[in-house]
Chain A
Amino acid sequence: MLRFITRRLLITIPTILVVITVTWVLIRLAPGNFYSGEKRLPPAIEKNIREKYGLDKPWYEQYAKTMGGILRWDFGTSLKYEGQSVNAIIARSLPVSATIGILAYLLALGVGITAGSIAALKQNSKWDYASMALAMLGISVPNFVLGPILVLIFSLTLYWVPPSRWAGFPSRNIILPVLTLSAIYMAYIARLTRAGMLEVLRSDYIRTARSKGLSERAVVMRHALRGGLLPVVSYTGPALAFLLTGTVVVERIFALPGLGNYFIQASLNRDEPLIIGIVAFIAIALLVMNLLVDIAYAYLDPRIRY
């Protein structure tokens, strides 16, 4: 197990370097610059800007500088937001994204697993149909539709909760973004749980458990759920990484100062250090989450050994 983890961690490093290099190249290929606006700059002013930010240096020098910084875990300073270091921006926006993300994740897990299990245990009942219909709805309605609908009902009509903006945690402002964000995950988890449970419930070891006289509760909680949740685990690991590192659409609709908002804006602004910083961060988060999923697999499924 320890060898497995070490090996995986070692693979992570070159993977991230490749991701960063590809990103770096793509930014260079994209036309336009962080300083280009609606009005064209006189060439002398453009030259001053390029000199100030070191864009006049040969590409290998710029690449070496970027990479050198990353190895020291210093992503440099944002080009667009004068004087703000990328590390500080990530440190500031990550908690916002993570708060919304973790809450949405917990909500999705709680509701999704419960609904999925009930649907599986009472297969073909109206409970099953109701929860699967809702799940279908959750999957088909994209969050940029769901978000505004929730806002329309709960803020603009009923005036119950604020329509947007970040007011810290806890506050009433986070209710709608968390609901919007969790809907699709909730739906997926419900469906995955139901499918996983149905399969497990028909398997031999559950029959064994039942035949040795275990209570239904023990069968479900101790045996069925553990096996039935495997697909959920492999799904929610990377999902959690995405949730933590911010979701562009929800953060935009609700005007949240999270990582996703910065990411999309940095791309539109061609803000190279910020893009690379956030890409690196998301890549690391994803790889770590995948590793955790594999470890969780080994724990949940006794057949898997590394």
Chain B
Amino acid sequence: MVTVPTPRERTALVAIIMLVAATSSCQVAAKNEEFFGKTTPPTRNVLRYINGDEPETLDPPISSGQPEARIFIALYEGLVEYDPKTLAPVPAIAESWGVNNDSSEYVFHLRHNARWSNGDPIVAEDFVYSFRRGLSPELASRNAYLAYYIKYGQAYNEGAVFVRNPQTGEFLLEKDFAHSDQEVPESLSQKPLSSGEAEYKGSDSAPNTSFHQFMHSPARLTLPASEKARKKLIDADAKLQAAVRDKEFVPVRAEDVGIEAVDDYTVRISLSQPAPYFSGLLAHQLFRAVPRKVIEKYGEHWTEPAHIVTSGAFKVKAWRPYSELVVERNPFYWDFANVRLEEIHFYTTQDNPTAMNLYKVGEADAVLNHTVPNPWLDVVRSKKDYMDGAEAAIVYVLINVTRPPMNDIRVRRAFNMAIDKVTYSQSRRITKPLSAFTPEGIFPGYPQPKGDPFNPEQARKLLGEAGFPVMQRADGSYECAKFPVDQVEYVFNTQSSNRTMAEFFQAQWKQNLGITVPLRSMEFRTFLNVRAKLEYKGFALGIWGADYMDPFTFLNLFSTPTGDNGSGWWDQRYSEMLDAANRTLDKQKRYELMARAEKFLLDAQPVIPIETSATNWVKKPYVKGMYPNAGSLFPWKFVYIERDPAKWDYGVPAMAD
């Protein structure tokens, strides 16, 4: 039966058709445009940035998140700042610095015109205070481990004690109780002082002081603060037991930590080991200057807009929690004349499509990394405001090597060779395939080793050698009847993209080895727990982002059996190889040694490398000075709004200088 629509029904029909048309026309329009959405620059020099999660706090050492890190770059400055393109350390409050001959001691020369946002000068003591505070057990910073390279930094943070002879005042020394059979060469910072010129060849040193001499004495023995842990340690070691008799335990104090204000504008940092990457670490929020007077006056409320005093290019204007943080130019900032943004609005938005909507209608000028949802990529990626750059982050699969059958290296290698990473990356569209454990294309000059390539033939052979023969069925598919499928699984945290990845691995293993590995997803924090405690069997998803721009930040994961390792694999030789590399001053030589360690790791195969991540965000063409760098960290003082369309960025801005 056909009914003729009444006039009213017709109106309704027309309305519905218009809605559908409007929806689809938007997509058609988007395809023809150069950029994603509106490109009208704001009238003032104001940047509206979508920053993701709500910042936990404005107190820099406490938070470890990326959204906070970006805010801290605006509000606080350290001795050094990130280069906007390479993230290498560039002068900030320190004008220049020198390093000793084995990268175990640094001297920083502060500029004389650096000021807090209340006008007070920033001096060397401020950094001594900020570093000690970051390490103090009472503050309980999650980032404190980054400062463990500083002499006695770890001991102070852990609340450890020295052992002193009450009669002579002498302390027990670490080297007398070393357990390693191998003689670890002492770093220069532990040795008695030679002449400053000899130690700082070609770069300037600072005058000697009594604290400096204390630093340059052999490392003292430190023991745990808690009596129980200490007793356990002492009871286990007869030599130690004899040595501590009649001795007193002295807590490690903040004043023992290896940072010193030589004078008002000179800071010297002594490390317990050579660390060539240390100056790059110093741009991290843990090391940015915080105002002592304000903190001591207001306690944990010092970051409230009414009290806060900052050291960076910007200061707090308004904070509307869960909505936005507004920062404005700090008139006392030493480089005020070159800061072009008047304000930055950091928006809190946790939903990616919501962020992209704000960007499209022109209510935001840039969005944080990994915000373009996968289904949108086809449209957004072709635009000239899409920021595609290599990222210092990798995705890999951890293997629990403590349980059979994955304790057999042949089995591990077989599972690695059975995944076609090139095809996977192509399907993901925003990543590069990875065969090693450091990200590809991030560290220029690093001779990255290659892991096993995709080779299903070889993989089946290896499985066969391990006692799990793979048979070919009549229809061409494979089966591996002997493999204990109930002893393996692939665990990952619940997220749709992780599931897609998991299904790809599952399909590859099924197709190439005839093994169907069960998948198990769990809530993020549960997952972290399961992985860290090796409570999974078989495989677990791993993602790692760089703490600083050096291959060591990745290779370091497996230098200890605990921590973020997550695989149960550990080899003393591997740790020693990394150690040797870090003692090498020559950069290229060091890289080669490090690459050798990486090869050693790949050969042991506690991991299956999958991909190097790529950045995936958008910024309006009129936002200049912002680059898709490897860490998605932006030194805001270099960012500005360009009103002249001729000078806009049409595509990813050039990253080379």
Residues of A whose CB lies within 8 Å of any CB of B are: 30-33, 35-45, 47-49, 51-52, 80-84, 89, 92-93, 126, 148-149, 151-153, 155-159, 162-166, 252-255, 257, 261-262, 265, 268, 270
Residue on A with the closest CB to B57? A82
- 14 interchain pairs (CB within 8 A)? A30-B525, A39-B564, A48-B138, A48-B157, A82-B59, A82-B63, A148-B353, A156-B361, A157-B23, A163-B357, A165-B347, A165-B363, A255-B349, A261-B322
Q: Smallest Cβ distance from B56 to chain A, in angstroms? A: 6
Interface assignment of B62: CB less than 8 Å from any CB of chain A: yes
Known: A40-B528, A165-B358, A255-B348. A157 touches B22 (CB 8 A): yes
Interface assignment of B65: CB less than 8 Å from any CB of chain A: yes
Residue on B with the closest CB to A149? B23
Task: Pick from B62, B321, B350, B357: contact of A84, CB below 8 A.
Answer: B321
Main SS at interface, chain B = loop
Q: Smallest Cβ distance from A93 to chain B, in angstroms? A: 7
Task: Pick from A36, A39, A252: contact of B351, CB below 8 A.
Answer: A252
Chain B residues with CB under 8 A of A51: 137, 140
Interface assignment of B306: CB less than 8 Å from any CB of chain A: no
Residue on A with the closest CB to B19? A153
B321 touches A92 (CB 8 A): yes
Q: Which of B141-149, B244-252, B256-264, B383-391 contacts A (4 or more CB under 8 A)?
A: B141-149
Known: A48-B137, A92-B321, A257-B348. A42 touches B145 (CB 8 A): yes
Q: How far is the CA of A89 from the CA of B353 in the complex (A)?
A: 26
Q: Smallest Cβ distance from A45 to chain B, in angstroms? A: 5
For the complex with contacts A38-B543, A164-B349, A253-B353, 14 further pairs of A-B residues with Cβ separation under 8 Å are: A30-B525, A32-B525, A32-B526, A37-B65, A38-B545, A81-B321, A82-B57, A153-B19, A156-B357, A253-B351, A253-B354, A254-B354, A255-B323, A257-B320
Q: How far is the CA of A89 from the CA of B56 in the complex (A)?
A: 13
B157 touches A45 (CB 8 A): yes
B residues 496-547 touching A (CB-CB < 8 Å): 523-526, 528-530, 532, 543, 545
Known: A82-B300, A257-B348. A31 touches B59 (CB 8 A): no
Q: Smallest Cβ distance from B622 to chain A, in angstroms? A: 19
Chain A residues with CB under 8 A of B354: 163-164, 252-255
Task: Pick from B22, B158, B563: contact of A40, CB below 8 A.
Answer: B563
B residues 14-57 touching A (CB-CB < 8 Å): 19, 22-23, 25-26, 53-54, 56-57
Interface assignment of B165: CB less than 8 Å from any CB of chain A: no
A265 touches B54 (CB 8 A): yes
Chain B residues with CB under 8 A of A36: 525, 528-529
Task: Pick from A42, A153, A155, A265: contact of B563, CB below 8 A.
Answer: A42
Chain B residues with CB under 8 A of A45: 140-142, 144-145, 157
Q: Smallest Cβ distance from A6 to chain B, in angstroms? A: 38
Q: How far is the CA of A36 from the CA of B140 in the complex (A)?
A: 13
Interface string of B356-392 (1 = CB under 8 A from A): 0110110100000000000000000000000000000
- The list of the 5 closest CB pairs from A to B, nearest first, reads A32-B525, A257-B322, A82-B57, A163-B357, A44-B158
- The size class of the interface chain B forms with chain A is 35 or more
B137 touches A163 (CB 8 A): no
Interface assignment of B239: CB less than 8 Å from any CB of chain A: no
Interface assignment of B482: CB less than 8 Å from any CB of chain A: no
Known: A48-B140, A48-B157, A157-B23. A151 touches B321 (CB 8 A): no
B56 touches A155 (CB 8 A): no
A35 touches B142 (CB 8 A): yes
Chain B residues with CB under 8 A of A93: 322
B157 touches A44 (CB 8 A): yes
Task: Pick from A89, A126, A148: contact of B321, CB below 8 A.
Answer: A89
Residue on B with the closest CB to A167? B323
Interface assignment of B96: CB less than 8 Å from any CB of chain A: no
B residues 617-656 touching A (CB-CB < 8 Å): none
Chain A residues with CB under 8 A of B361: 155-156, 159, 162-163
Residue on B with the closest CB to A80? B56
Q: How far is the CA of A32 from the CA of B145 in the complex (A)?
A: 20
Interface assignment of B118: CB less than 8 Å from any CB of chain A: no
Q: Smallest Cβ distance from A174 to chain B, in angstroms? A: 13
Chain A residues with CB under 8 A of B350: 252, 255, 261, 265
Known: A42-B145, A265-B350. A52 touches B140 (CB 8 A): yes
B54 touches A32 (CB 8 A): no
Chain B residues with CB under 8 A of A158: 22
Chain A residues with CB under 8 A of B141: 45
**A44, A155, A265: most-surrounded residue (chain B CB, <10 A):** A44
Chain A residues with CB under 8 A of B357: 151, 155-156, 163-164
Interface assignment of B407: CB less than 8 Å from any CB of chain A: no
Q: How far is the CA of A153 from the CA of B357 in the complex (A)?
A: 12
B349 touches A83 (CB 8 A): no
A152 touches B140 (CB 8 A): no
Chain A residues with CB under 8 A of B57: 81-83
Q: How far is the CA of A270 from the CA of B57 in the complex (A)?
A: 16
Interface assignment of B303: CB less than 8 Å from any CB of chain A: yes
B138 touches A37 (CB 8 A): no
Residue on B with the closest CB to A257? B322
**A31, A93, A252, A261: most-surrounded residue (chain B CB, <10 A):** A31
**B26, B142, B562: most-surrounded residue (chain A CB, <10 A):** B142
**A30, A83, A92: most-surrounded residue (chain B CB, <10 A):** A83
Q: Smallest Cβ distance from A179 to chain B, in angstroms? A: 14
Residue on A with the closest CB to B9? A126
Known: A83-B57, A153-B19. A32 touches B347 (CB 8 A): no
Q: How far is the CA of A79 from the CA of B339 in the complex (A)?
A: 35
Q: How far is the CA of A31 from the CA of B54 in the complex (A)?
A: 23
Interface assignment of B429: CB less than 8 Å from any CB of chain A: no
**B65, B137, B300, B562: most-surrounded residue (chain A CB, <10 A):** B137
Interface assignment of B64: CB less than 8 Å from any CB of chain A: yes
Chain A residues with CB under 8 A of B450: none
Chain A residues with CB under 8 A of B573: none
Interface string of B549-562 (1 = CB under 8 A from A): 00000000000001
**A45, A89, A93, A268: most-surrounded residue (chain B CB, <10 A):** A45
Interface assignment of B175: CB less than 8 Å from any CB of chain A: no
Chain A residues with CB under 8 A of B301: 83
**A35, A41, A126, A162: most-surrounded residue (chain B CB, <10 A):** A41
B62 touches A82 (CB 8 A): yes
Q: How far is the CA of A165 from the CA of B348 in the complex (A)?
A: 9
B residues 224-260 touching A (CB-CB < 8 Å): none
Q: How far is the CA of A89 from the CA of B144 in the complex (A)?
A: 28
**A162, A164, A255: most-surrounded residue (chain B CB, <10 A):** A255
Q: Smallest Cβ distance from A53 to chain B, in angstroms? A: 8
Q: How far is the CA of A6 from the CA of B322 in the complex (A)?
A: 39
Q: How far is the CA of A49 from the CA of B64 in the complex (A)?
A: 13
Interface string of B132-175 (1 = CB under 8 A from A): 00000111111011001000001001110000000000000000
Q: Smallest Cβ distance from B591 to chain A, in angstroms? A: 24
Chain B residues with CB under 8 A of A149: 23
B140 touches A49 (CB 8 A): yes
Residue on B with the closest CB to A89? B321
A157 touches B140 (CB 8 A): no
Q: How far is the CA of A39 from the CA of B145 in the complex (A)?
A: 11
Chain A residues with CB under 8 A of B157: 44-45, 48
Chain A residues with CB under 8 A of B321: 81, 84, 89, 92, 257
Task: Pick from B23, B142, B323, B526: contact of A41, CB below 8 A.
Answer: B142
Q: How far is the CA of A157 from the CA of B24 in the complex (A)?
A: 10
Task: Pick from B56, B322, B525, B563: contact of A33, CB below 8 A.
Answer: B525
B64 touches A37 (CB 8 A): yes
Q: Smallest Cβ distance from A113 to chain B, in angstroms? A: 22
Q: How far is the CA of A214 from the CA of B154 in the complex (A)?
A: 88
Chain A residues with CB under 8 A of B25: 157
Chain B residues with CB under 8 A of A38: 528, 543, 545
Chain B residues with CB under 8 A of A81: 54, 56-57, 321
Chain B residues with CB under 8 A of A41: 142, 145
Q: Smallest Cβ distance from B92 to chain A, in angstroms? A: 25
